[in-house]
Amino acid sequence: MVTEFTPWASLIGGILIGLAAVLLMLLRGRVFGATGILAGVLSPSGSSDWTWRAQLLAGMVTGPLLYSLLFGQMPVIQVPVSTPMMVIGGVIVGIGVTFGSGCTSGHGVCGMARLSPRSIVATAVFMLFTFLTVYVVRHVLGL
């Protein structure tokens, strides 16, 4: 499935992601990691922590609605993989981000910006493995 090269939309999106990460540090003193936010909402360590994470998650989920108000359509989601692959991939991601203590937002954006050695290693490892997996799935297995 071919997708259009969108440097400007992607750059603006990236800048907004960065702004949100800076805002969360300014407001709450926390890194913006989607894994930590989701895990925190699922199993709260304290009620005040649960509250701000739930507010943040509510804002995140409202993103597509704001997008549709601005651009007159819902964001495009094209899924080139089968449902079993979505399920297997989802479970593996869940296990991986829990053991790896973070994902693209926590390690890849916030941790990289803090020049955290753990995050730099984590980001290099997951980018490499995603690349290898896509190669194997598409060009070796032909799925």
Partner 1 sequence: MKHVLTFLTGLVFGLGIVMSGMSNPAKVINFFDIAGSWDPSLAFVMGGAVVVTFIGYRFVLKRPAPMMDTAFNVPSSRLIDRRLVGGSALFGIGWGIAGFCPGGALPALGTLNPDVLIFVASLVTGIFAAKTMMNKTATI
Residues 30-89 that bind partner 1 (CB under 8 A): 30-35, 37-39, 42-43, 51-52, 55-67, 70, 74-81, 83, 85-89
Q: Considering only residues 89 through 128, tell me which ones interact with partner 1, judged by CB under 8 A.
A: 89-101, 103-105, 107-114, 116-118, 121-123, 125-128
* Whole-Å CA distances, 62 to 5, 57, 65, 66: 25, 9, 5, 7
Which residues, 6 or more positions from 100, have their beta carbon under 8 angstroms from its beta carbon? 107, 122, 126
Q: Least CB distance from residue 76 to partner 1, whole Å?
A: 6
Nearer to partner 1, 47 or 78 (CB): 78
Q: What are phi and psi of 82, to 5 degrees?
A: -75, 165
Nearer to partner 1, 47 or 83 (CB): 83
CA 99 to chain centre: 16
Q: Are 127 and 120 in contact (CB under 8 A)?
A: no
Nearer to partner 1, 30 or 44 (CB): 30
Q: Least CB distance from residue 47 to partner 1, whole Å?
A: 14
**CA–CA distance, 121 with 140 (Å, rounded to integer):** 27
Task: Please give the single-letter amino acid code of residue 99.
Answer: F
Q: Least CB distance from residue 44 to partner 1, whole Å?
A: 13
Q: Least CB distance from residue 88 to partner 1, whole Å?
A: 6
